[in-house]
A and B are shown apart, each in its own frame.
Chain A
């Protein structure tokens, strides 16, 4: 995955709670056996007025002009502002793939669903959890200021507004390390292959019926 150190970008507000993974990328796009090509179908049912199909030419489809990501002022947004429990629902990793491939690099919300959280960080999509009051404030500022941008510094764990106000966010140190360095988890785990083998042998003696 790509390294994530410092990024800054335009903010788009998605003002609804419990945005689920079916909404992020509807099921018909999960039939793909590839990892790419999901960006045009991000939030498909909200972004377009017709029903999307995996083989459709998305450029020719009617857009829902009211949907936030279609509004002129938010074109090119890389930071998504969201509400509680973002990413709830299925374990489909197609959800973070679609967000990243659309161009979203950071999502800010009061809370995220667990599986979506892990899937996102593993793919280099940074999820920032902030107090609901701060998220509220960011919604208000985004609304009031066209061209509103936020700067994210993963190393310092800070989020900075155009006025210079800065908020600290928490992130698991292991995940942070992997994101900062663009590290492949599997390689890191396999560095402990001997320990896994030793555990496996012991486990097999204790519970032979599992093998």
Chain B
């Protein structure tokens, strides 16, 4: 028998049944639920008179709509009534349909769904994880099989505990070598997307491997797997090693005692066999990667910080050329502009890509002893969860940020997608640690440049992009 990939192992250990044509029923261990993609699913259940198959698999939180200020006002702090209704609808649905745990708005463990899963041990190695949210790929950092799903599928998993799907092809992205100082998981993710394109992983489950990946912390691996969806892959994953196991130990929902040992013994098997075959393999060299900045309206429109905005005229593919030209128009950038000459209006540090403690530490290290530049109207730091916030405050990071002129906010998705009032105004230009630079993503007419937390902090204190490695 030839070796199996990590994906094969996760797939086979959750296969309930399979039709001759490959249509499979896959058992789901963990279902993360948030307020935006769940109301219609619960409504569907109610209308059909169905029950939730295993309420104990559900972990829920409100994160997309919640405000990042005025928490002292309670629910009245959500001034948009439509948003408020959605948050209240989740409260009601969880009360009626039950969950293993719910971190509602204002709870001290509330936070972005992809941050709270891992930090509470609700995401564990070997699991299948779904959520009505494309960035569910984040959880693959734990050698879990994690997919973003739509609302019909949310309803389907609630009712049946299963997903009906076909197996994807397996792709391996190998990054070897040591990252230079100031180069982070975010830069690796953007460099990969710049190389393979936003559709490069379509139809594939991606495993990230190589010494660079093994060198990343769990936070870094989450950042990387988070952005697998931006490369078109529905799932991204990293094999289990000591870091995975150390991270899980002692978390709220992690096993303990003899069961912990049993679990660890199993988790250690969650790697691709050395003779496993992948349908596609892409290799990058870690030492070649430098800090990255996106210049366009798709994450693949990315350049090195020491690079320039490209000239569409140089692009031979007509669809791409037109896309570049359209992006430059939307972004109000001229071909050939050095990336460092791009002046900014706002800076956002947060989102499920980069709002964990390590991200905040990296940004604070740059902000320390410096001041937000005069041309920056708003620089905000939004921790990924209440727990991240508490830890950052314990370490004094909040004071570093506020002393430098950043705003320190309550946790949530915030300006990653601007469903609450944290938005860009038309024409505003933002350095953002989030994952999508689509037109209007952070606010209608807003212009987003994706960067790492350290690069965002460096942009905040200089007012334009700068190679963070030159600041020290």
Q: Which residues of A contact B (CB under 8 A)?
A: 15-18, 20, 22-23, 26-28, 30-35, 45, 51, 54-55, 83-85, 88-94, 96, 111, 113-115, 118-119, 122-123, 172-174, 185-186, 188-190, 192-193, 195-196, 199-200, 203, 206-211
Once bound together, how far apart are the Cα atoms of A30 and B82, in whole Å? 10
B77 to chain A, nearest CB (A): 16
11 more A-B residue pairs beyond the given contacts A34-B40, A35-B43, A91-B134, with a C-beta to C-beta distance below 8 A? A17-B319, A26-B440, A90-B134, A92-B150, A115-B134, A115-B149, A119-B150, A189-B160, A189-B162, A209-B260, A209-B262
Q: Is the CB of A17 within 8 A of B438?
A: no
A99 to chain B, nearest CB (A): 13
Contact partners of A88 in chain B: CB under 8 A:
198-199, 232, 298
B182 to chain A, nearest CB (A): 29
Most chain B CB atoms below 10 A, which of A15, A85, A207: A207
Contact partners of A113 in chain B: CB under 8 A:
199, 202, 232
Contact partners of B1 in chain A: CB under 8 A:
none
Which 7 residue pairs are nearest across A and B when measured between Cβ atoms? Answer: A119-B150, A209-B255, A33-B39, A93-B150, A93-B151, A31-B82, A91-B148
Cβ-based interface call for B86 (8 A): yes
- Using A31-B419, A91-B148 as known contacts, say yes or no to A199 and B16 having CB atoms under 8 A apart: yes
Once bound together, how far apart are the Cα atoms of A30 and B420, in whole Å? 11
Q: Is the CB of A16 within 8 A of B322?
A: yes
With both beta carbons as reference points, the residue of chain B lying nearest to A29 in the complex is identified as: B82
- Using A174-B21, A185-B156 as known contacts, say yes or no to A196 and B162 having CB atoms under 8 A apart: yes
Q: Is the CB of A207 within 8 A of B263?
A: yes
Interfacial residues of chain B within 59-115, with CB under 8 A of chain A in the complex: 64-65, 80, 82-83, 85-86, 89
Q: Is the CB of A189 within 8 A of B36?
A: no
Once bound together, how far apart are the Cα atoms of A113 and B298, in whole Å? 14
Once bound together, how far apart are the Cα atoms of A43 and B27, in whole Å? 36
Which residue from A15, A33, A119, A172 sits with its C-beta under 8 Å from B43? Answer: A33
Q: Is the CB of A85 within 8 A of B199?
A: yes
Q: Is the CB of B85 within 8 A of A33?
A: yes
Q: Is the CB of A17 within 8 A of B320?
A: yes
Q: Is the CB of A54 within 8 A of B25?
A: no
Q: Is the CB of A195 within 8 A of B159?
A: no
Write out, one digit per residue, whether chain B residues 139-153 have a CB within 8 A of any chain A CB (1) or not (0): 000000000111111
Cβ-based interface call for B427 (8 A): no
Q: Is the CB of A186 within 8 A of B440?
A: no
What are 10 sample pairs from A and B whose C-beta atoms fall under 8 A apart?
A31-B83, A33-B40, A33-B86, A88-B298, A174-B19, A185-B164, A186-B50, A186-B155, A189-B162, A195-B25
Q: Which residues of B contact A (CB under 8 A)?
A: 13-14, 16-17, 19, 21, 23, 25, 27, 29, 36-37, 39-40, 43, 48, 50, 53-54, 56, 64-65, 80, 82-83, 85-86, 89, 124, 126-127, 132-134, 136, 148-153, 155-156, 159-162, 164-166, 198-199, 202-203, 232, 234, 254-255, 259-260, 262-263, 266, 298, 319-320, 322-323, 326, 417-419, 436, 438-441, 444
Contact partners of B85 in chain A: CB under 8 A:
31, 33
Once bound together, how far apart are the Cα atoms of A23 and B202, in whole Å? 20
Q: Is the CB of B56 within 8 A of A118?
A: no
Once bound together, how far apart are the Cα atoms of A15 and B325, in whole Å? 14
Q: Is the CB of B36 within 8 A of A209?
A: no
Which residue from A51, A91, A208 sits with its C-beta under 8 Å from B259? Answer: A208
- Using A209-B263, A211-B56 as known contacts, say yes or no to A85 and B439 having CB atoms under 8 A apart: no
Contact partners of B64 in chain A: CB under 8 A:
30
A14 to chain B, nearest CB (A): 12
Which residue from B17, B48, B56, B234 sits with its C-beta under 8 Å from A115? Answer: B234
Which residue from B127, B149, B199, B232 sits with its C-beta under 8 Å from A210? Answer: B127
Once bound together, how far apart are the Cα atoms of A65 and B111, in whole Å? 42
Contact partners of B439 in chain A: CB under 8 A:
22-23, 45
Q: Is the CB of A174 within 8 A of B160?
A: no
With both beta carbons as reference points, the residue of chain B lying nearest to A30 in the complex is identified as: B36
Which residue from A20, A22, A174 sits with its C-beta under 8 Å from B164? Answer: A174
Which residue from A17, A31, A123, A193 sits with its C-beta under 8 Å from B152? Answer: A123
B352 to chain A, nearest CB (A): 12
Once bound together, how far apart are the Cα atoms of A92 and B417, in whole Å? 13
Which residue from B48, B86, B89, B260 sits with its C-beta under 8 Å from A186? Answer: B48
Contact partners of A93 in chain B: CB under 8 A:
37, 40, 132, 150-152
Q: Is the CB of B161 within 8 A of A200?
A: yes
- Using A33-B85, A208-B259 as known contacts, say yes or no to A27 and B419 having CB atoms under 8 A apart: yes
Q: Is the CB of A32 within 8 A of B82?
A: yes
Contact partners of A16 in chain B: CB under 8 A:
322-323, 326
Q: Is the CB of A192 within 8 A of B17?
A: yes
Once bound together, how far apart are the Cα atoms of A87 and B83, in whole Å? 25
- Using A27-B417, A92-B37 as known contacts, say yes or no to A22 and B16 having CB atoms under 8 A apart: no
B428 to chain A, nearest CB (A): 14
Contact partners of A190 in chain B: CB under 8 A:
159-160
Contact partners of B127 in chain A: CB under 8 A:
210
With both beta carbons as reference points, the residue of chain A lying nearest to B439 in the complex is identified as: A23
